[in-house]
Amino acid sequence: MFWFKRLGRLSHPAATRIFTSMSAAQTKTVKIGLCQVLVGADKQKNLETASAAVREAKKKGADLIMLPEMFNCPYSNDSFPGYAEEVPFDIAGEAVKFNGDAKEHPSLHAISNMAKENGVWLIAGSIPERHDSNLYNTSLVCNPEGLFVAKHRKVHLFDIDVPGKMTFKESDTLTPGSSFTSFESPFGKIGVGICYDLRFPEYAMLLAKAGCSILCYPGAFNMTTGPAHWELLQRGRAVDNQLYVATCSPARNPESAYQAWGHSTIVGPWGDIVATTEHEPDVVVAEVDLQRVDEVRTSIPVRKQKRLDMYEVVSNRKA
């Protein structure tokens, strides 16, 4: 059994405290922590590893911390059903306090505890989510009080076939999400995508249009696509939209059938690499200057120079 409590932004005193960033001045800098953790077959060990990495990132000064895609289970279609958990709430402009059974929802409890115990904003990579007869690749975001403030279901499923190198079809087990995801924070509005979502510039453009200054993508590019496109796509999305892009990958596990590329990275609005790592387990923390977003957008004002009389990227849903 489970229950959860919604905290309205205006009517609940705790919610008013949580969302002070919506009316107060935003901070000018934020320290982003990327937890490139090793993921294995033991779910509980994966959660403990993630918790330890978040604590390390906090000790290094991180305010906003990200875990990798599928941080609680191996990245494989065979694994997703067995590791899946229900996420029995939606989030629509409200913070959600979840008090479900810890045995049925160990990942949700771990995510909430990681955020609350360390007093950080946490983008909890992704986990397989079970909803009715469907499975989703779902990212959850918690505020420093351990309340859930955003939920993103991977919009673009990873279905590729590179002859002789890589074949993978998430659609064999997963269902795509159908919404844009962002959340308000003291660091401004932050957009969330998952891995393959990074390849679609329209998704990033619409999040930028909605006011995001940081886009976060937990991901797990592989040894075929990673060397070729992982950094390239991040720099492309950052330059296209003149904002920060942060990605977090699992560490490469030599015992896994799916080999992650690693190289968790933060890219600046000028396309510069702010911080990165190799493929081993690591915790990377870097401070980013949010004023840089405005400076770049003023220096090269492409947002004002778009020929809207000729073209426009339009969303069929609210971004």
pLDDT (tens digit, 9 = 90+) per residue, 124-149?
Answer: 999 999 999 999 999 999 999 999 99
Q: Which residues are catalytic?
A: 69, 154, 195
The reply to whether the predicted model has a pTM over 0.85 is yes
3-state secondary structure of 66: strand
Mean pLDDT of 257-269: 97
What range defines the domain where residue 219 resides? 4-305
Number of folded domains that form the chain: 1
Residue 287, strand partner residues: 31
pLDDT tens digits, 94-114 = 899 998 899 999 999 999 999
Determine the pLDDT at residue 82. Answer: 97
Specify whether the CB–CB gap between 194 and 217 falls below 8 A. yes
In a domain, 314, yes or no: no
Residues 6+ apart with CB under 8 A from 137: 69, 70, 80, 126, 128, 129, 153, 154, 157, 170, 174, 177, 194, 195
Give CA–CA dist 170/180, Å, rounded.
19
Name the DSSP class of 170.
G
On the question of pLDDT at 1 being above 70, the answer is no
Q: Which pLDDT score is estimated for 271?
A: 98
pLDDT average, residue stretch 243-265? 96
Give me the pLDDT at residue 25, please: 55
**pLDDT mean over 196-201:** 98
pLDDT at 237 over 70: yes
For residue 67, pLDDT over 80 is answered with: yes
| 168 part of a folded domain | yes
- What are the C-alpha distances in Å from 256 to residues 23, 40, 73, 167? 46, 8, 11, 16
- How much is the average pLDDT of 206-211? 97
Inside any domain, residue 225: yes
The whole-angstrom separation of Cα 3 and Cα 5 is 7
Look at residue 32 and tell me if it is in a domain.
yes
Beta carbons of 74 and 81 less than 8 angstroms apart: no
**CATH number of domain containing 60:** 3.60.110.10
How high does pLDDT run on average in the chain?
Answer: 92
* pLDDT range class, residue 20, cuts 50, 70, 90: very low
Tokens of 48: 């403990």
Let me know: does 174 contact 195? Beta carbons within 8 Å.
no
For 186-210, what is the mean pLDDT?
97
Where residue 274 falls among pLDDT bands split at 50, 70, 90?
A: very high
pLDDT reported for residue 2: 43
- Compute how many other C-beta atoms are within 10 angstroms of the C-beta atom of residue 207: 26
Of 226 and 8, the one with more pLDDT: 226
- Segment 175-201 shows an average pLDDT of 97
In a domain, 318, yes or no: no
Q: Outline where the chain has alpha helix (H).
A: 13-18, 43-59, 80-83, 106-118, 201-209, 225, 231-241, 291-299, 302-305
- What mean pLDDT do residues 237-248 have? 98
The pLDDT, as a whole number, for residue 264 is: 98
CB 199 within 8 A of CB 234: no
Using the predicted structure, report yes or no on whether residue 312 has a pLDDT greater than 80: yes
Whether 40 is in a domain gets the answer yes
The Cα angle at residue 63 between residues 59 and 68, in degrees rounded to 5: 85
Residue 93 lies in a domain: yes
Residue-wise pLDDT for 150-169, tens only, equals: 999 999 999 999 999 989 99
Residue 317 inside a domain? The answer is no
